[in-house]
Homo-oligomer: A and B are copies of this chain.
Amino acid sequence: MEQIERIAQLYPVIMRVMGRIRSVVHEGMDLTYNQYKMLLTIYDKGNCPLNLLARELQIAMSSASEMVDRLVNLGFVYRMVDEENRRQVVIYTTERGEELIRELRRGIVENYRLLLARLSEHDRERLVQAFETLAEVLGKLE
């Protein structure tokens, strides 16, 4: 089988299992995976105008704005007009949002632990290696 065809063939297989992992690991969370990613991005940036947030998450600014609405309604982030450039709106995590991040992080790592306990130590090590390689190689495509 040719290299490229093999990759085209394996892509959906991997996406399937990755999706499965997501649903197991994030199960019972108060946020969807996308909301979690957004909250985390806002937290990590510390000072995140909406346009940067949208670029970071690779979605249209209108989508980002909608998602921020939901996070605001949930009480995990708030908007502030940037006084340096009043066109910009900067998003910040609230105290509750940061608490949630800490809590979810613990839960997620714990769920990974439980899930991956079903693999041998050898397989877990291969998994980490494969993840590292993917992140490195695919990162070059960005």
Q: Which residues of A contact B (CB under 8 A)?
A: 3-8, 10-23, 25, 37, 40, 58, 105, 108-109, 112-113, 115-116, 118-119, 123-135, 137-142
Contacts and interface: CB of A to CB of B under 8 A. Distances in A.
Main secondary structure of the interface of A (DSSP, over half): helix
A15 to B, nearest CB: 6
B17 A142 contact: yes
Give the copy number: 2
A122 B40 CA distance: 34
A70 B109 CA distance: 38
B37 A138 contact: no
Contacts of A6: 128, 131-132
Nearest to A5: B109
Contacts of A119: 137, 140-141
A7 to B, nearest CB: 6
Contacts of A118: 140-141
Contacts of A129: 130, 133
Contact of A135 (B14, B21, B138, B139): B14
A23 B15 CA distance: 13
B138 A10 contact: no
Contacts of A131: 6-7, 10-11, 14, 134
A15 B17 contact: no
